[in-house]
């Protein structure tokens, strides 16, 4: 069965610390997409990144970086030099049924608290 696991329910760090959010997935598909979303206290879902199953290149966007490893079925997210504004719930998600537009399977979410 397809599944996404975010084992870290809550993480608390002090500003400027680096933090890594873990995401492990299970899928039987050879073609799939992985996503990260941010949900700030205001409640909306903010798209951060998508990765397809054929592209294992790591990606960096400012203070954010993502490490995709098919060998371990992981798609981890690192925030470097965290800031208070990074406080949010972060969701990892897997897109299945490629031919049906890609229904998303979400992990349980990791609540990140960055303290000043």
**Which residue do the tokens 């997935």 mark?**
25
For every residue of 76-114, DSSP letters joined together read EEEESS--GGG-EEEEEEEEE-GGGT-EEEE---EEEEE
> What would the two tokens of residue 60 be?
């960096």
Contact call for residue 41 and other proteins (CB under 8 A):
no
Contact call for residue 106 and other proteins (CB under 8 A):
yes
Nearer to other proteins, 81 or 104 (CB): 104
* Rounded least distance, CB 86 to other proteins, Å: 19
Stretch that binds other proteins, among 20-28, 38-46, 66-74, 76-84 (CB under 8 A): 38-46
Stretch that binds other proteins, among 13-21, 30-38, 56-64, 71-79 (CB under 8 A): 30-38
For every residue of 45-63, DSSP letters joined together read -EEEEEEETT----EEETT
Nearer to other proteins, 94 or 114 (CB): 94
């Amino acid at each position: 069965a397809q599944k996404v696991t975010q084992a870290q329910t809550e993480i608390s760090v002090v500003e400027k610390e680096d933090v890594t959010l873990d995401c492990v997935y299970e899928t039987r598909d050879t073609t799939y997409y992985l996503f990260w979303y941010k949900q700030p206290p205001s409640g909306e879902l903010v798209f951060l990144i998508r990765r397809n199953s054929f592209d294992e290149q790591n990606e960096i966007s400012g203070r954010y970086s993502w490490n995709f490893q098919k060998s371990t079925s992981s798609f981890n997210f690192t925030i470097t030099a965290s800031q208070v504004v990074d406080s949010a719930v972060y969701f990892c998600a897997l897109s299945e049924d490629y031919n049906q537009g890609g229904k998303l399977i979400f992990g349980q979410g990791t609540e990140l608290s960055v303290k000043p």
